[in-house]
Chain A
Amino acid sequence: MIKSLEELKQIREKYKDTLQNRETNEDKVKILVGMATCGIAAGARNTINAIVEEIRNEHIDNAVVVQTGCMGFCYAEPTVEVRMPNKEPVLYGKVDSEKAKEIVKRHVKNGEVIKEWVLRG
């Protein structure tokens, strides 16, 4: 039973993530994960799930995670591209779930490009 506006707000916070996937906005950070056969074989599913999990943990609400097809860097899969608004996209290679979390923390949240993992950009 909700007995105050505060309690309603708590429920809203609890379920806010549910709607996060459904908000579209041009100003959002877009994170693309290569999920073609080569990507999946190299473990892209773990990568994409790690990214989504980290975004929720860090309470980042201005980023969307989208899977995409082959980007042509099959030797460096899984690949992750980070598109910050009004900036050139940055493509990372050989991103496992640990690296993925690092990218969310440093690049998506704090805007720091992690140069040593960059493939292109």
Chain B
Amino acid sequence: MPIRMELLVCGGTGCQASNSNRVLDVLKEEIKKANLQSEVNVLMTGCFGFCEKGPIVKVMPDNVFYVEVDEDAARKIVAEHVVKGRVYQEKLYVEPDTHEKLSEQSKIPFYKKQLRIALRNCGKIDPENINEYIAADGYMALGKVLTEMTPEEVIDVVKRSGLRGRGGGGFPTGVKWEATRKSKSDIKYVICNADEGDPGAFMDRSILEGDPHSVLEGMAIAAYAIGAQFGYIYVRAEYPLAIHRLRIAINQARELGLLGKNIFGTDFSFDVEIKIGAGAFICGEETALINSIEGGRGEPTVKPPYPAQVGLWKKPTNINNVETFANIAPIILNGADWFASIGTEKSKGTKVFALAGKVNNVGLVEVPMGITLREIIYDLGGGIKGGKKFKAVQTGGPSGGCIPAEHLDTPIDYDNLTALGSMMGSGGMIVMDEDDCMVNIAKFYLEFSCDESCGRCTACRIGNKRLLEILNKITEGKGEMEDLEMLKELAETVRDSSLCGLGQTSPNPVLSTMKFFYDEYLAHVRDKECPAGVCKELLKYYIIPEKCVGCTACARVCPVNVIHGEPKKVHVIDRDGCIKCGQCYNTCRFGAITRK
């Protein structure tokens, strides 16, 4: 009996963390109880991207999108929707503005402006079944390339498509391939960089979990184009599910002869191996990554020579990011002109962004280049949490910068973001509201860069440390005006004299916040105040006499006994002894305690 209905359960790490595995089991059990297992299929797919509302269950072909499904809801969905044909209203997405219940995925604002190329199969196919990937035109591009195209023609298509590296650098992919092709050597390598390290970014993980074959196919095409026979996928150990699904995918591809010797009956042979990294941020830098694969320390080396000339085991090597590889097969099948018709003049195609921070809809979005930050944050992201005021958006992770409200209408592409002192990076996007202190944010990212600096070059190893010390001084209320000058000068020095991308970009959060939020730095240094009320040492707690009813709750909770006053009379905080723990602030039920 043919399957007439399918329940797709999100199996990304995010939804699995909110128990989608159990939802899958319950759905299967209930379907079996209703004796419908031969007509209705339940399967686990890759990430739908709408992590905020996970676990997601999508019923097809009815095209009904259920959000926040728990075990109980799973039972109801089977009882109501599957058995009786009635949509289970309780778990539909509710549009926050109109309070309208939306059942169709494409009508939900989060999905409206999305265009999925790299994520085309995520949430649609079973990532552990190669046949489903093939049914969705999988490996057709590889077949076409091997049987109908020369390596030069492949490189030409990728060049004309305008595809640029999705891992951070934004280097034109076709040009990189051409350089590796031109290097003379009997042995060459292809490496997939899956060492995704930016805080908050998880698009590479989602692609590997949701559609691992798309990456393998992209790698094989790259190998053919540059003349390589072997590939490595460098993936971090923190991604166990991605590694698990990759392993399954590699084995299935080998069984069908899509990896291995004489693929499609041609002379071309290619196989891949997974290399598990220990999770150092620096290993996302290509020369450090190569050192790590070779068993050496994850430290970068001076370029040139570039990996295209001297790479892994001293052989020409082409390194691309996961998302870059995932774009290759559609470019081959649909043509360079199709891809180049999407996006802006210098940034073609789409980009996946991981939306996080103080935004209503946290998740993964794939949008055409040229969309504005405002559209992503307000239309897809549903605006700022709790109706607060937007302050800045941090793009590009610790290497990026903070972009303020006046630049929200900038069309997103590589060059515009760089011009704003930030960068595309891998596509992390962290939204900040009025409660975030920009000095503290800069400090947070710098702490990350200090931790992750490999220590090889002085500028990065010592420079970042000194920058952090200055920022600590400022947030503790001990900053002086000279510190601000020193901070800027040192940040520029670290940027200009570091060996690799990490040190060259780690001062970006400092420089961009100093550029756009200088008044906050001034407030910390000159007025010894933190306008957002975040930096603890600068906070002062007050009791508003008009609001205090003398309930004594604050005095009783104060661990250092510096709040005085008689019952039913106005209390006072003796600020000399106050340790700024905030207990009184959290305890007061009358809003009588304020801090600034």
Contacts and interface: CB of A to CB of B under 8 A. Distances in A.
A17 B3 CA distance: 9
B135 A3 contact: no
Contacts of B262: 3
Given A36-B84, A66-B62, A8 B134 contact: yes
Contact of A22 (B6, B85, B131, B256): B6
A117 B139 CA distance: 46
A4 B131 contact: no
Interface string A1-25: 1111100110110111111111110
Contacts of A1: 256-257
A69 B5 CA distance: 15
A49 B256 contact: no
B256 A24 contact: no
Interface in B106-153: 106, 124-125, 131-132, 134-137, 139-140, 143-144, 147
B258 interface: yes
Given A2-B264, A5-B264, A48-B4, A69 B86 contact: yes
A22 B61 contact: yes
Interface residues of B, number: 36
A8 to B, nearest CB: 5
Given A21-B6, A36-B85, A4 B62 contact: no
B139 A24 contact: no
A91 interface: no
Given A21-B3, A69-B84, A11 B258 contact: no
Contacts of B83: 35
Interface string B219-263: 000000000000000000000000000000000000011100010
A3 B260 CA distance: 12
A34 interface: yes
A112 interface: no
A67 B5 CA distance: 9
A8 B85 contact: no
Contacts of B4: 21, 48-49, 52, 65
Contacts of B265: 3-4
B147 A11 contact: no
Given A4-B264, A36-B85, A18 B140 contact: no
Contacts of A24: 60-61, 63, 106
Given A19-B136, A21-B6, A2 B256 contact: yes
Contacts of B1: 49, 53
Interface in A21-73: 21-24, 33-37, 39, 45, 48-49, 52-53, 56, 64-69
A22 B264 contact: no
Nearest to A13: B135
Given A64-B61, A65-B4, A69-B84, A11 B144 contact: no
Contacts of B5: 21, 67
Contacts of A14: 131
A69 B132 CA distance: 31
B2 interface: yes
A22 B84 contact: no
Given A8-B140, A68-B85, A18 B39 contact: no
A35 B85 contact: yes
Contact of A2 (B6, B62, B106, B258): B258
Nearest to A67: B85
B354 interface: no
23 contacts: A4-B265, A5-B143, A8-B134, A8-B143, A11-B131, A11-B134, A17-B2, A19-B135, A21-B6, A21-B60, A21-B61, A24-B106, A33-B85, A34-B85, A35-B83, A36-B85, A45-B39, A48-B39, A49-B1, A53-B1, A64-B61, A65-B61, A69-B84
Interface of A: 1-5, 8-9, 11-12, 14-24, 33-37, 39, 45, 48-49, 52-53, 56, 64-69
Given A15-B134, A23-B61, 10 more contacts: A2-B139, A3-B257, A3-B262, A3-B264, A15-B132, A19-B124, A21-B61, A22-B8, A48-B4, A67-B62
The 4 lowest CB-CB distance pairs between A and B, nearest first, are: A1-B257, A67-B85, A15-B135, A35-B85
